Structure 1
């Protein structure tokens, strides 16, 4: 039963009558008290009470003998009441994130022998009790964002562990005993203060995901190449400066993060990473696209943002599976034509938040037939190519912070477009048929000197703009219809299309004869009166 986010102040009595209930979601409400009647849920297996206002845990919660998964995260809990949980012997998953916990209760370690997942992230823990080694079936432990300065040695005794998360702590080293975690699959220790990694980590042969980002590493242990099952490696925000060729022996590696590592070159053996699909080399010092990358035929995502690149090698065309290419913040003086050879590309980021700004996009941009998202913000573009309409799959067009003066009418033919970002340009008008973009969900126009439609019309959002354009077309169609009807009347009278103007011209002007006749008439009258 799902009663999450219902603004509940208490557990409804109608719910408490459902004694055969097996799963109950009450998270993200305003519940302050767990009622004693909770003990009637004798069959319940899953109970989520996270993100409420619960202070104390009632004793009756301990009577839920079949409960297997309990979440009490993000509550102002009185931690002394946590001992009640130790009575739920069948518990498999316990989540206590963000409850200001400073010590993990020893009683829980003594009695929760079946526990497989323990979530303690976002607390104030500095250590774990020695008794935690009693949790011999524990497979996942989450200790992210606590106050650990030392890696808890007790963890190394839990040989069944598969996932260990100690991100965002204050660790300065890893113990050599970490090598005893033979079954570990995922190890997250990013955003700490590690300056080296013990060789024994390479004994963890089942390791698939290793995140060491945001530390103080200069090199990796020699045995790193022995991690034959390593699939994802995070080394971003370390000062590696030079990448060890040993990494190139990780044949199973498919994800590699090397953002902000001081790199300017790659080892020649980098082409051996034939399984690599995602590569992040952003915020480094590359002056061109490393040729070693062009040999990675399986690559799908490549981020080279914020480097010093001024040109792209033609060999980039060999990246036949590349769908995401980030080259924002580099030193291109013109749009790199080589990019247009990437027919598989779906997302292209070429904004210039720093460095030289582009003044135009090539007319043959349509060569990127599979493109779905184009980000060209922070440039000096004054116009977009009229051929843009040939990008039939385009869903996102980000042109913020340019100098666009006018949009091509062909933009109205981008029928797949969902987001059009045009803030801070020089647009004074919009194409009359822009509302033909039926799939458009987001239209942003702030910071333009718009006159047609006026900026006050655009401010409420897309719906108001659409109504304005429809009304404008309606008025134009009506004026055209009236004009056509009048011309028809003139033709039927045999006066021709300009008859009205000619006729009004004759009526307004008097002939010389008329003027002369009228003059004589006046004189004769006066003579007659005299007679």
Structure 2
């Protein structure tokens, strides 16, 4: 490509005063030469392209601080990249990099952020650990690492390290010698224990250890007094150490997927707790002390063994998202009015004998999940659904509904309706009043026709009708998607209008003929009467 053509391909007018260029996802096969002439350029985005190599002229970008080349096809890193003395953030993730060229990164002494996600690393280069003393963020997720070099302790300023989806069988002890670490992500590895040396990480704020093989947690972890986020989901834990109650700064806890022997009472001491994930933990009830946690905004208690709606939850006035899906709950207490800010409620897969109308007390609801893939199924949806004026998404799949109430037309904020796998015979015409509707899922019902004005819903972009005995529109039209359905509805309406017009003309002609006939008849009578006078 000539320089002139390259210049025309760029989305910006190239001048020497450009400081930022974004050419991400532009099908670039090379780094345009005009870009490499921008001596004042500070930030360059070239991710998601088809670039196979970094040209030697990259060294002209002497002031560049941020360089994103992730998601390309780069194999070798050229020596000239090491001359970018101002470079502070480099992303080479998702490239087939050769290990032999990675040493060049060690020359970038000003580097503060280095991302090498998904580059098939079996080991991390020692040279980088020895030379890059200013690195604060190191991203190595999605590789094949089993250990870290002992030289990583030279990265004294390291604050964040991401090691997700590797092959670590033990917690890298070297990390415990990096006192400035604030974030450690070791999710989806094979880690079986946390060393007691973790007590030295007094600045640790976030620790992610989900999807590992942890059987227990060291009680020394409470020495990490600044810890606010701890994710231990999907491990083999049975309990938490008693000392955990001392982690008073905790804001987010993930324990889902652990078969707990009993509820971990320690967390009831964490007054600032906002997000709690206890999905599939074998719980049957909550302690009364749980009601103290009034700051909770997100609570996941799905896939447990609750046979009653936990009343302890009803005191959580800040709660916004509550998931109680796949439990054994039969009814909802009226105390739910104590949840004035609840926006999302999941009750799918419980044991309600009738539709729990208490949900209508939650006027702030925006999302309601009441699908019943198991247990008793609903046959009716109460008309009082219209009380949920803030509702945006309604999920009622896998029930036995035959009709939807016409009051649904009053839900002006509704965007998604999912009623697939029911027995719906028709959709109410009033649904055409819900002008914000975007998605309508009614697969596998008993529908044979659609409301004739459904195409008036201009925002409705997805309609799924598979598995219905449709005749109006016919199945072959429905299988072609929304455009074909809309065209059918418009044509049907046009034909109906024409037929109505023709019938109107016929009726008018008939009326006119009647008037004329009557006029003739009465005229004759008048004349006869006139001539009959003496």
- TM-score norm. by structure 1 comes to 0.92
Q: Which residue number in structure 2 is paired with residue 319 of structure 1? A: 339
8 Å contact from structure 2 (residues 416, 440) kept in 1: yes
Q: Which residue number in structure 2 is paired with residue 454 of structure 1? A: 474
Q: Deviations over 1:20-43 (max 9, x none)?
A: 221111111111111111111111
How far residue 18 of structure 1 moved from its aligned partner, in angstroms, is 2.2
Q: Which residue number in structure 2 is paired with residue 287 of structure 1? A: 307
- Choose the corresponding residue for 1:52, options 72, 76, 100: 72
How far residue 496 of structure 1 moved from its aligned partner, in angstroms, is 8.2
Q: Which residue number in structure 2 is paired with residue 503 of structure 1? A: none
* Residue 109 of structure 2 corresponds to residue 75 of structure 1: no
Distance 2:405 2:199 in 1: 58
8 Å contact from structure 1 (residues 303, 327) kept in 2: yes
How far residue 3 of structure 1 moved from its aligned partner, in angstroms, is 1.2
Q: Which runs of 5+ in 1 are unaligned?
A: 499-531
- Choose the corresponding residue for 2:402, options 373, 382, 402: 382
Name the SS for the 1:279 alignment partner: strand
Q: Deviations over 1:72-125 (max 9, x none)?
A: 111111112100010010001000011111111111011101101000001111
Query: Which segment is superposed worse, 218-227 or 60-69?
Result: 218-227
The 5-angstrom pairing of residues 131-146 of structure 1 reads 131-146=151-166
8 Å contact from structure 1 (residues 194, 216) kept in 2: yes
How far residue 52 of structure 1 moved from its aligned partner, in angstroms, is 1.1
- Choose the corresponding residue for 1:128, options 128, 140, 148: 148
The 5-angstrom pairing of residues 84-483 of structure 1 reads 84-483=104-503
Distance 1:166 1:284 in 2: 27
RMSD across aligned positions (CA): 1.5
Distance 2:206 2:265 in 1: 23
Distance 2:412 2:335 in 1: 26
Q: Which residue number in structure 1 is paired with residue 525 of structure 2? A: none
8 Å contact from structure 1 (residues 491, 497) kept in 2: no
Q: Which residue number in structure 1 is paired with residue 527 of structure 2? A: none
Runs (4+) off by over 4 Å: 495-498
Distance 1:320 1:50 in 2: 45
How far residue 302 of structure 1 moved from its aligned partner, in angstroms, is 0.5
Name the SS for the 2:152 alignment partner: helix
How far residue 218 of structure 1 moved from its aligned partner, in angstroms, is 0.9
Query: Rg bigger for which structure?
Result: 1
How far residue 495 of structure 1 moved from its aligned partner, in angstroms, is 4.8
How far residue 448 of structure 1 moved from its aligned partner, in angstroms, is 1.2
Distance 2:506 2:355 in 1: 53
- TM-score norm. by structure 2 comes to 0.91
How far residue 497 of structure 1 moved from its aligned partner, in angstroms, is 11
8 Å contact from structure 2 (residues 239, 261) kept in 1: no
Name the SS for the 1:118 alignment partner: strand
Q: Paired residues, what number? A: 499
Q: Which residue number in structure 2 is paired with residue 511 of structure 1? A: none
Distance 1:274 1:487 in 2: 71
Distance 1:412 1:5 in 2: 39
Distance 1:185 1:210 in 2: 9
Distance 1:376 1:23 in 2: 48
490 and 138 in structure 1: CA distance in 2 versus 1, 3 angstrom threshold: same
Q: Which residue number in structure 2 is paired with residue 487 of structure 1? A: 507
8 Å contact from structure 1 (residues 487, 497) kept in 2: no
Name the SS for the 1:316 alignment partner: helix
Distance 1:128 1:414 in 2: 57
483 and 158 in structure 1: CA distance in 2 versus 1, 3 angstrom threshold: same
Query: Which segment is superposed worse, 356-365 or 132-141?
Result: 356-365
Q: Which residue number in structure 1 is paired with residue 14 of structure 2? A: none
Distance 2:161 2:357 in 1: 49
Distance 1:492 1:236 in 2: 79
Q: Which runs of 5+ in 2 are unaligned?
A: 1-20, 519-534
How far residue 296 of structure 1 moved from its aligned partner, in angstroms, is 1.5
